[in-house]
């Protein structure tokens, strides 16, 4: 199986494990990855996931074009508004950390846009070259990228199709950190462990408010935010957190 899925406490480790093919995704891999994300979404014991690629060359170089393009052209693979494997439109409100160990292009960059915090190694490259092949990035980039980085940078990446370096990705806000290779997973885990110390219901509600508030008028988004905030403040965790702060101890959140 080309998708490794390990659960360690509250952290899920998801690894695209096909380094001999630059961690490209076949249709079967994409289906398996989608099932992993749905399991992560539904598993109440898991609070955060770290997504990475096996080996030291590639995070993910996208779909396996030799297989996928004929499938798309023949109709065997349907281009859908929801593609779980690419984190497209599945409403997963648990945080996902992308640990980019190398090449992150095409579908690899598309899935990265579905993550929330992104760490890249110094050697990593990023790009969407679909237009150079007469293709269309179908996993959400025309929607997500202009919302996540400045418009002009998004359009350069989408329309020109050239790759950018890790330092450029950091500069335009596509990455949170650029680190040496030997610091990649430890940096990702530091973020994961810090998130796991926070109230899980609060964390998920914050992400839900951000994602659902993206494309609705601001005045409506405030109602959404207020409703989610009311739900959080009505939980036992919201009582435990301030109490622990006053008592100068770490809170014990139970997700209730």
- 27: three-class secondary structure by DSSP: helix
CB 48 within 8 A of CB 96: yes
Catalytic residue list: 110, 130
Beta-strand relationship, 164-165 and 11-16: unpaired
CB 99 within 8 A of CB 188: yes
Q: In what order do the strands lie in the sheet with 48-53?
A: 3-8, 11-16, 48-53, 96-100, 117-121, 177-179
Rounded Cα distance between 175 and 101, Å, is 13
Rounded Cα distance between 199 and 228, Å, is 14
Rounded Cα distance between 139 and 179, Å, is 27
- 131: three-class secondary structure by DSSP: helix
């Amino acid at each position: 199986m080309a998708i490794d899925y390990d659960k360690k406490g509250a952290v899920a480790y998801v690894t695209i494990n096909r380094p001999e093919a630059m961690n490209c995704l076949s249709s079967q891999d994409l289906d398996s990855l989608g099932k992993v994300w749905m399991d992560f979404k539904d598993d109440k014991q898991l609070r955060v996931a770290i997504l990475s690629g096996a080996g030291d060359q590639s995070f993910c170089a996208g779909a396996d074009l030799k297989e996928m393009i004929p499938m798309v052209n023949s109709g065997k693979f349907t281009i859908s508004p929801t593609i779980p494997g690419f984190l497209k439109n599945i409403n997963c409100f648990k945080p996902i950390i992308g640990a980019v160990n190398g090449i992150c292009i095409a579908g690899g960059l598309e899935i990265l846009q579905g993550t929330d915090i992104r760490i890249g190694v110094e050697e990593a490259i990023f790009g969407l070259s679909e237009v150079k092949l007469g293709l269309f990035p179908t996993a959400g980039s025309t929607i997500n990228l202009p919302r996540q980085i400045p418009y002009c940078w998004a359009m350069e990446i989408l329309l020109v199709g050239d790759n950018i370096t890790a330092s450029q990705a950091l500069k335009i806000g596509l990455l949170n950190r650029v680190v040496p290779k030997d610091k990649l997973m430890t940096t990702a885990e530091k973020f994961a462990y810090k998130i796991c110390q926070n109230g899980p219901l609060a964390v998920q509600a914050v992400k839900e408010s951000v994602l659902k508030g993206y494309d609705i008028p601001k005045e409506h988004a405030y109602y959404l935010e207020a409703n989610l905030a009311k739900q959080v403040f009505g939980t036992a965790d919201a009582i435990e957190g301030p109490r622990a702060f006053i008592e100068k101890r770490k809170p014990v959140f139970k997700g209730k």
